[in-house]
Amino acid sequence: MSKADLDSTANQSIEVGEVYDHASHGNVKVTGIWQGVSSVDTARNTDTKHTIVIRFSPIETDDRRSVPDLADTLNKFLDAIKIDD
């Protein structure tokens, strides 16, 4: 991720329980945010020394089956969702 990308995502936060539009999985609900071995309720972009993992679950619809929770790093999750400013 470039410095410009980091600057543009620095103020975006992801919150447990919120629904986001994911590029690969459609609407997903964040079910957990992990930094190290501790669960947190909100996350902001960070450097690689403090990797944050987002656990999310695609929302089941008529044309999408339910799948087990998925996980990705915060940076990859931010790249895959659309957040309205």
Total domains present in the chain? 1
- Can you give the pLDDT at residue 68? 79
pTM to 2 decimals? 0.65
Residues 6+ apart with CB under 8 A from 57: 28, 29, 31, 66, 67, 68, 69, 70
Residue-range definition of the domain harbouring residue 43: 3-82
**Does 78 score more than 60 pLDDT?**
yes
- Can you give the pLDDT at residue 5? 43
Residue 60 Ramachandran class (φ > 0 left, ψ -120 to 50 alpha, else beta): beta
Distance CA 73, CA 85 (A): 21
